[in-house]
Amino acid sequence: MFGTVVVGVGIAGLARIRDLMNPMPSSPSEHLKLLGFVSRRSFGNINEAKQISLEDALRSKEIHAAFISTENRSHEETIRMFLEAGKHVLVEYPMALSAKAAHELWEMAEQKDKVLHVEHIELLTEEYKQLKKEVAGKDLVKGTLHFTGSVLDETRSGFPAFSGIARLTWLIDLFGDLSVTSATREKQRDKNYSRMTVHFQTANK
């Protein structure tokens, strides 16, 4: 069995704990054993999973991999700690708040001979697979992708573009590399409203 720890118990972290404790039959998850979870808040146990300290998770010889589900701002530091401790890492997107940091982490994982995987679960859904089939072999002439969400705490989540990074990953997976031609941001503090509009161009313009 491959010992694991979940770091962060927000929506994503709780889903990880649930799935690791109840793996799908005959799935790779059956070979993973949840040995605990790490959180700044005090929980005790969650569904029979025990809370352990970050220090214990890093030191444990039985823990081979960490599932990082904390706020965006802390991803980089947490990945570094677990790679330094000789653990494999799965992190919810985005891996870091800058491309420079992300490249450094990839290099670090390679030097340590560890897996560093950025999870984007949406790319594995049946709806997305169907969308990919529908656009296969077609040329994109023009398109718009619009999505909404609650206003983010930028100190924890990073610049607003990070709230849309999942959809950017969609577009690159569907249509190849993109270049940014323009970007604007509108803010109305009195209405707690923020909007970001970005124009991309595919490799064939």
Which residue numbers in the chain have pLDDT < 70?
A: 157-158, 162-164
pTM attached to this predicted model: 0.75
The percentage of the chain sitting over the pLDDT mark of 90, rounded to a whole number, equals 49
pLDDT for 162 equals: 67
* CB of 169 closer than 8 Å to CB of 147: no
Q: Strand 178-188 vs strand 193-202: parallel, antiparallel, or unpaired?
A: antiparallel
pLDDT for 39 equals: 95
Give the whole-angstrom CA distance, residue 69 versus residue 156: 13
Cβ burial 131-141 (10 Å sphere, 16+ → b, else e): eeeeeeeeeee
pLDDT for 166 equals: 73
Residue range 36-65, pLDDT digits in tens: 999 999 888 888 899 999 999 999 999 999
Give the chain's domains with CATH numbers.
2-119 (3.40.50.720), 125-202 (3.30.360.10)
* CB of 67 closer than 8 Å to CB of 6: yes
Nearest CA to 194 out of 203, 202, 179, 184 is that of 184
pLDDT for 163 equals: 66
> What is the chain's length?
205
pLDDT for 29 equals: 84
